[in-house]
């Protein structure tokens, strides 16, 4: 395992005393949407995931063995990951009891929820009692500087989107997989809680103080000299009225050489905002390129990524073809077809 392959060895944040193998906690998840974090981990890091813990009312599951806390520990699990999201990111009393029981069974805990684990006194006490680690992926403990905008060496690719939740993380991870398959040094750089748990480090960019967004992106991707790529997980959209500030700061701080535009066809409106339509691809890409040029005048777009999970195979192929014709860029679905054509184009554009 390399440093990036096991969070326990990561130096991307303060060295955590936790890591794979994982027990994925699904609790009493009411639906598939609420286990997005656990599903992402199981999809991208199956070799890290030993089992799942499901409560009596859990309505969702992964393709993993069901395990209790002691059973998981005995099977070699190091850390239980709270892989579920619920309204407001709050832990209900049952979840707190389960976390305490897992700590008492000897597991460390990693969480992608908003509220910090140690803010629950029972959890803080159980962790101390058992000498276990608590890791909050949404919390960033280090002091960083504001962005400087200084040109730095190395190549960086950023995924940008027409909206939130259009597949930026999946696309970025698929690019990492494809580039590594071809022997090109490439590292996923996580900016959200699920990505941080998958990547074993990163920075929760939307949880930083507003003045430090671009500084956070600069911290995440310092210059590299090995000819490899930093592949940066994008967040939000320049066209999302709630979060565009995060997207712009990330775009400036990332100083990307290359952009991949991520989109979900047929989405009726911007996520969470029924009164806002989704921008068209051309306008969205042009706005991102224009803003990115402030810190990286030579930025180019290298591909389009579509989430076609709700389309038939024919509809998906038609949608990709339409995007290719519109933008003159290769277009693929990272889950359905992989990203080989996008990587072909990336490597061809940066062949020197």
Binding residues for a second copy, rule: CB under 8 A, are: 146-151, 205-215, 238-239, 241-250, 252-253, 273, 275-276, 291, 294-295
**Do the Cβ atoms of 51 and 75 come closer than 8 Å?**
yes
Return the biggest CA–CA distance within the chain: 61
Distance CA 237, CA 262 (A): 10
**Do the Cβ atoms of 153 and 227 come closer than 8 Å?**
no
Measured from the CB atom, the residue of 83 and 236 that comes closer to a second copy is: 236
Smallest distance from a second copy to CB 279, Å: 9
Measured from the CB atom, the residue of 10 and 214 that comes closer to a second copy is: 214
Structure-block tokens of residue 286: 């042009």
Smallest distance from a second copy to CB 298, Å: 16
* Of 217, 258, 263, nearest in space to 346 by CA: 258
Smallest distance from a second copy to CB 206, Å: 4
Measured from the CB atom, the residue of 87 and 210 that comes closer to a second copy is: 210
Location of structure tokens 């027409």 = 162
Distance CA 139, CA 135 (A): 8
**Do the Cβ atoms of 23 and 83 come closer than 8 Å?**
no
Smallest distance from a second copy to CB 240, Å: 9
Structure-block tokens of residue 269: 């409106």
Measured from the CB atom, the residue of 62 and 238 that comes closer to a second copy is: 238
Smallest distance from a second copy to CB 24, Å: 25
Measured from the CB atom, the residue of 22 and 239 that comes closer to a second copy is: 239
Measured from the CB atom, the residue of 202 and 249 that comes closer to a second copy is: 249
Smallest distance from a second copy to CB 216, Å: 8
Cα angle at 84 between 92 and 338, to 5 degrees?
175
Distance CA 333, CA 341 (A): 11
* Of 141, 100, 94, nearest in space to 121 by CA: 100
Measured from the CB atom, the residue of 14 and 290 that comes closer to a second copy is: 290
Smallest distance from a second copy to CB 144, Å: 12
Measured from the CB atom, the residue of 130 and 291 that comes closer to a second copy is: 291
Distance CA 13, CA 203 (A): 8
Smallest distance from a second copy to CB 267, Å: 16
Give Cβ neighbours of residue 276 (< 8 Å, ≥ 6 apart): 239, 240, 241, 269, 270
Distance CA 349, CA 276 (A): 35
């Amino acid at each position: 395992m390399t440093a990036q392959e096991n969070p326990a060895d990561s130096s991307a944040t303060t060295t955590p005393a936790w890591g794979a193998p994982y027990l994925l906690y699904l609790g009493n998840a009411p639906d598939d949407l609420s286990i997005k974090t656990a599903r992402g981990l199981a999809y991208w890091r199956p070799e890290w995931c030993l089992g799942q813990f499901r409560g009596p009312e859990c309505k969702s599951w992964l393709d993993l063995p069901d395990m209790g806390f002691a059973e998981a520990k005995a099977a070699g699990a190091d850390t239980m990951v709270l892989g579920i999201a619920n309204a407001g990111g709050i832990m209900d009393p049952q979840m707190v009891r389960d976390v305490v029981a897992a700590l008492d069974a000897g597991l460390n805990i990693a969480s992608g929820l908003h509220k910090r684990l140690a803010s629950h006194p029972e959890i803080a006490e159980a962790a101390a009692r058992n000498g276990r680690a608590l890791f909050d992926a949404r919390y960033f403990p280090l002091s960083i500087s504001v962005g400087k905008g200084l040109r730095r060496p190395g190549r960086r690719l950023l995924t940008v989107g027409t909206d939130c939740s259009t597949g930026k993380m999946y696309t970025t991870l698929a690019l990492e997989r494809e580039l590594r398959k071809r022997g090109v040094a490439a590292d996923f750089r996580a900016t959200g809680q699920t990505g941080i748990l998958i990547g074993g480090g990163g920075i929760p960019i939307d949880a930083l103080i507003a003045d430090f967004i671009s500084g956070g992106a600069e911290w995440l991707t310092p210059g590299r000299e090995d000819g490899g790529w930093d592949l940066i997980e994008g967040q939000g959209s320049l066209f999302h009225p709630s979060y565009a500030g995060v997207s712009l700061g990330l775009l400036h701080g990332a100083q990307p050489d290359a952009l991949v535009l991520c989109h979900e066809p047929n989405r009726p409106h911007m996520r969470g905002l029924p009164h806002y339509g989704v921008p068209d691809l051309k306008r969205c890409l042009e706005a991102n390129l224009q803003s990115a040029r402030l810190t990286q005048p030579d930025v180019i777009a290298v591909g389009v990524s579509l989430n076609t999970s709700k389309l038939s195979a024919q509809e998906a192929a038609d949608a990709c073809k339409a995007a290719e014709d519109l933008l003159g860029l290769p277009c693929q679905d990272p889950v359905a077809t992989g990203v080989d054509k996008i990587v072909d184009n990336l490597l061809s554009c940066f062949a020197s």
